[in-house]
Chain A
Amino acid sequence: MTTLKDPAGTRVVVGMSGGVDSSVAAYLLKQQGYQVIGIFMKNWDDTDENGVCTATEDYNDVIRVCNQLGIPYYAVNFEKEYWDKVFSYFLEEYRSGRTPNPDVMCNKEIKFNAFLEHALSLGADYVATGHYARVRHMEDGVELLRGVDDNKDQTYFLNALNSKQLEKVLFPIGEIEKPRVREIAKEAELATATKKDSTGICFIGERNFKEFLSQYLPAQPGDMKTLDGEIKGRHDGLMYYTLGQRQGLGIGGAGEPWFVLDKDLEDNTLIVGQGYHHPALYSKGLIASNVNWISKEITDSFHCTAKFRYRQKDQGVTVIPLGDNMVRVEFDNPDRAITPGQSVVFYDGEICLGGGVIDEVLKD
């Protein structure tokens, strides 16, 4: 039975980050008559040498909003879980020359696993977050739907969740568009109404990515070469570069700008080439592993749309299941800079079907 419970007497634990989205999520649930509890998750210790910690600032905002709403608030520490399940994976992927997506892993292992379990231990009927996505609760299961604000839709990051998790989830702001969320926050005079949205990977924040990564992984500088083997300069370490990247190569000279085409891990070489549309950046398909189907298992080939990176327009693809939670994805049209480690996420109209991690890029 997965139809929604009546709000009265139904306890919802809201994961509150101190941002406007989760503040409004809590506000809307309270308006709807749920018994709402706000919980702040501390997943990362970013205390600097002056003892300043952005988590403390964020938690103070959670406190202000919860007091405005008249709901109890608590905090929970998942630093260890985050380190073991998300950060270790993040480093391991970079170590293998891939570009991981820690947010996908954080949703799967922390927000909708460790946190969900914690909420259930508090007698919660549901957990809610400020994600731009929707869950359709039906008699025979659930479906994950895109948020109505196409510009903000976050189903890409939620692709690794399963229906058992989603049955317990409410996304109150998935039904509205971001500008309206800000408006609601302002109308309700919530303390976070004009707070800036956070950007980037949560544990890195505004810091320099390269500097951050270099604290954890040894950088091995090497050569930058063209496809023909001509040395064009030195790179600072393969992990600092993403396929299709233009910035930071430092190759001058005549002609079109230079782009990262590939990484050769064995030779520690960064392959570069000229032109945004360099043919070596294009591929016809990919192999994905760890594929997760949210509502029902798919065993036969089918056509649908997909995203290979966040905020990309949907692309037509044919999905061919290979067994072992792997699929082969063939693109209707060649696509640029498909990046191993990122997620491929499948859609049927507004339904997010699931996704997997890009393992291999198919050029021909």
Chain B
Amino acid sequence: MERIYLDHAATSPVHPEVFAAMKPFYDEVFGNPSSIHHFGREARRGIDEAREYIAKAIGASFEEIVFTSGGTESDNLAIMGYAFAHQNKGKHLITTEVEHHGVLHTFEFLEKQGFKVTYLKVDETGKISLDELNKALTSETILVSCMFGNNEVGSIQPIKEIGVLLRDHPAVFHTDAVQAFGMESINIKELGVDFLAMSAHKINGPKGIGFLYVKKGITINPLLHGGEQERKRRAGTENVAAVVGLQKAVEIALSERQQRRKTYITYRNILLDTFRREELHFTLNGDPHHYLPHILNVSFPGINVESILTNLDLDGVAVSSGSACTAGSIDPSHVLTAMYKDVSRSQSAIRFSFGYGLSREQVEEAAIRTVKVIKRISR
């Protein structure tokens, strides 16, 4: 039985070109970028070239890119780093109910530290309302955080519009672009964001690396203290090979972006068309018109999600419920709970996500296997 991986939003395979780009930085160019000798300089060049490339790719400048261990650290560094550095200006923060836990739990932590947090509600398409955001802003508000594209349902937030709204407010704007990066066009100059978080392993880069864009002039407290790496914003010897891998992954993702969008929309339609043709009882979750093409979230009301996931895995199809697990069992997703009142909808939601290496034939086969499982267990 051929196993089919439809969980690229959880993590993705490292692209062979990424792997190849990284390899010399493990054995040949192994120096510490902070060292003053030849070996150190070689490694430093690898990092700086990557920083230069990535900065350009998103319309930022060289010193605005901070390499981190990934999405969660980037989110933590932006939110905590800014909140603690600027709490004298105000202690009110705004975010949304549908953020990734890397953001949500950071805000919950800050609440315990004496900050006040407003969690914006979303509508049935998963989007916040600019009106609500406007109402939530006070003179005490120092930071707004809103994700770019949702990791569970793929809904895309009005990032540009939020940026415009915040032009007349001193609060800084952070966006978690981990899931949107490589799918949506991301140009800092157009977005009006002050922070942007990204992770390599979602776009065929290695795990354990990502970056945070920090707009020039904005100060943050570091989370990690030590050496002077990353302009004192992130101490610790750089993960050089991973940084080089990140650069390569960004290169590939951006050059193939349009093609991939088309491919994934085809894949999405293969699944949806098969479900319709086979008359499965299902609902599409998220925004039906404006979505991240690689994420498809569907509910099969009345069917236990654990049963679907386990059966699909036993039949060689790897998908996800898109939400966190406690002791391995699946709790209703906070994203779907925020979007829908109907509990059976959030309790039966499955996320299919597409990525590099997935073929049309595999998607067709996965659709057939899914139909079989759903029919078998809904009997």
Q: Which residues does A use to contact B, with CB under 8 Å?
A: 37, 39-40, 42, 45, 47, 53, 55-56, 58-59, 62-63, 72-77, 118, 121-123
The answer to whether the Cβ of B368 comes within 8 Å of any Cβ in the partner chain is no
Which residues on A sit within 8 Å (CB–CB) of B309? 74
Which residues on A sit within 8 Å (CB–CB) of B329? 40, 42, 75-77
Known interface pairs A37-B314, A121-B377, A122-B314. Does A75 touch B327 (Cβ–Cβ under 8 Å)?
yes
Q: How far is the CA of A34 from the CA of B329 in the complex (A)?
A: 25
A-B contact count (CB 8 A): 57
Known interface pairs A74-B306, A75-B306, A76-B306. Does A122 touch B311 (Cβ–Cβ under 8 Å)?
yes
Contact partner of A118 (CB less than 8 A), chosen from B307, B325, B330, is B307
Q: How far is the CA of A58 from the CA of B310 in the complex (A)?
A: 19
Interface of A is mostly: mixed
Within the complex, what minimum Cβ distance (angstroms) separates B111 from chain A? 15
Which residues on A sit within 8 Å (CB–CB) of B307? 76, 118, 121-122
In the complex, 7 of the A-B residue pairs with CB atoms within 8 angstroms, ordered by the A residue number, are A40-B327, A40-B328, A74-B306, A76-B306, A118-B306, A121-B307, A122-B310
Q: How far is the CA of A56 from the CA of B327 in the complex (A)?
A: 4
Q: By the criterion CB–CB under 8 Å, are B314 and A47 in contact?
A: no
The answer to whether the Cβ of B326 comes within 8 Å of any Cβ in the partner chain is yes
Which residues on B sit within 8 Å (CB–CB) of A122? 307, 310-311, 314
Q: By the criterion CB–CB under 8 Å, are A42 and B326 in contact?
A: yes
Interface centre among A42, A53, A62, A123 (most CB of B within 10 A): A42
Q: By the criterion CB–CB under 8 Å, are A47 and B328 in contact?
A: no
Known interface pairs A76-B306, A121-B307, A122-B307. Does A59 touch B314 (Cβ–Cβ under 8 Å)?
no
Which residues on B sit within 8 Å (CB–CB) of A40? 327-329
Q: By the criterion CB–CB under 8 Å, are A74 and B328 in contact?
A: yes
Within the complex, what minimum Cβ distance (angstroms) separates A339 from chain B? 33
The answer to whether the Cβ of B313 comes within 8 Å of any Cβ in the partner chain is yes
Q: By the criterion CB–CB under 8 Å, are A72 and B327 in contact?
A: no
Q: By the criterion CB–CB under 8 Å, are A121 and B311 in contact?
A: yes
Q: By the criterion CB–CB under 8 Å, are B310 and A74 in contact?
A: yes
Which residues on B sit within 8 Å (CB–CB) of A75? 306, 325, 327-330
Within the complex, what minimum Cβ distance (angstroms) separates B168 from chain A? 39
Which residues on A sit within 8 Å (CB–CB) of B313? 72, 74
Contact partner of A53 (CB less than 8 A), chosen from B306, B311, B327, is B327
Chain B interface residue count, Cβ-Cβ cutoff 8 angstroms: 17
Q: How far is the CA of A85 from the CA of B77 in the complex (A)?
A: 46
Q: By the criterion CB–CB under 8 Å, are A55 and B326 in contact?
A: yes
Known interface pairs A75-B306, A76-B306. Does A59 touch B311 (Cβ–Cβ under 8 Å)?
no
Q: How far is the CA of A42 from the CA of B307 in the complex (A)?
A: 14
Q: Closest chain B residue to A62 by CB distance? A: B328
Q: Within B322-347, which residues are at the interface with A (CB < 8 Å)?
A: 325-331
Which residues on B sit within 8 Å (CB–CB) of A55? 326-327
Which residues on A sit within 8 Å (CB–CB) of B327? 40, 42, 53, 55-56, 58-59, 75
**10 closest A-B pairs (Cβ-Cβ)?**
A75-B328, A77-B329, A55-B327, A75-B329, A59-B327, A42-B329, A74-B310, A56-B327, A59-B328, A76-B306
Q: Closest chain B residue to A74 by CB distance? A: B310
Q: How far is the CA of A74 from the CA of B313 in the complex (A)?
A: 10
Which residues on A sit within 8 Å (CB–CB) of B326? 42, 45, 47, 53, 55-56
Which residues on A sit within 8 Å (CB–CB) of B377? 121
Q: How far is the CA of A162 from the CA of B150 in the complex (A)?
A: 48
Q: How far is the CA of A59 from the CA of B311 in the complex (A)?
A: 20
Which residues on A sit within 8 Å (CB–CB) of B306? 74-77, 118
Q: Closest chain A residue to B303 by CB distance? A: A121
B281-315 CB mask vs A (1 if < 8 Å, else 0) is 00000000000000000000000101101110110
Question: Besides the contacts A40-B327, A40-B329, what 16 more A-B pairs have beta carbons closer than 8 Å?
Answer: A37-B314, A53-B326, A55-B326, A56-B327, A58-B327, A59-B328, A72-B313, A74-B328, A75-B325, A75-B329, A76-B329, A77-B306, A77-B330, A121-B311, A121-B377, A122-B310
B71-100 CB mask vs A (1 if < 8 Å, else 0) is 000000000000000000000000000000
Which residues on A sit within 8 Å (CB–CB) of B330? 75, 77
Q: How far is the CA of A216 from the CA of B54 in the complex (A)?
A: 57
Q: By the criterion CB–CB under 8 Å, are A42 and B328 in contact?
A: yes
Q: Closest chain A residue to B377 by CB distance? A: A121
Q: How far is the CA of A59 from the CA of B314 in the complex (A)?
A: 19
Q: Closest chain A residue to B325 by CB distance? A: A75
Q: How far is the CA of A118 from the CA of B303 in the complex (A)?
A: 11
Interface centre among A47, A62, A122 (most CB of B within 10 A): A122
Q: By the criterion CB–CB under 8 Å, are B314 and A123 in contact?
A: yes
Q: Closest chain A residue to B329 by CB distance? A: A77
Q: How far is the CA of A180 from the CA of B11 in the complex (A)?
A: 43
Within the complex, what minimum Cβ distance (angstroms) separates B377 from chain A? 5
Q: How far is the CA of A62 from the CA of B327 in the complex (A)?
A: 10
Within the complex, what minimum Cβ distance (angstroms) separates B54 from chain A? 35
Q: Closest chain A residue to B330 by CB distance? A: A77
Which residues on B sit within 8 Å (CB–CB) of A73? 328
Q: How far is the CA of A279 from the CA of B133 in the complex (A)?
A: 75
Which residues on B sit within 8 Å (CB–CB) of A42? 326-329
Q: How far is the CA of A118 from the CA of B376 in the complex (A)?
A: 12
Q: How far is the CA of A60 from the CA of B314 in the complex (A)?
A: 21
Q: How far is the CA of A49 from the CA of B311 in the complex (A)?
A: 34
Q: Within B203-227, which residues are at the interface with A (CB < 8 Å)?
A: none
Q: How far is the CA of A47 from the CA of B306 in the complex (A)?
A: 21
Q: How far is the CA of A59 from the CA of B330 in the complex (A)?
A: 13
Which residues on B sit within 8 Å (CB–CB) of A45? 326
Which residues on A sit within 8 Å (CB–CB) of B310? 39, 74, 76, 122
Which residues on B sit within 8 Å (CB–CB) of A121? 307, 311, 376-377
Q: How far is the CA of A77 from the CA of B327 in the complex (A)?
A: 9
Which residues on A sit within 8 Å (CB–CB) of B376? 121
Q: Within B48-71, which residues are at the interface with A (CB < 8 Å)?
A: none
Q: How far is the CA of A77 from the CA of B307 in the complex (A)?
A: 10
Which residues on B sit within 8 Å (CB–CB) of A37? 314
Within the complex, what minimum Cβ distance (angstroms) separates A115 from chain B? 11
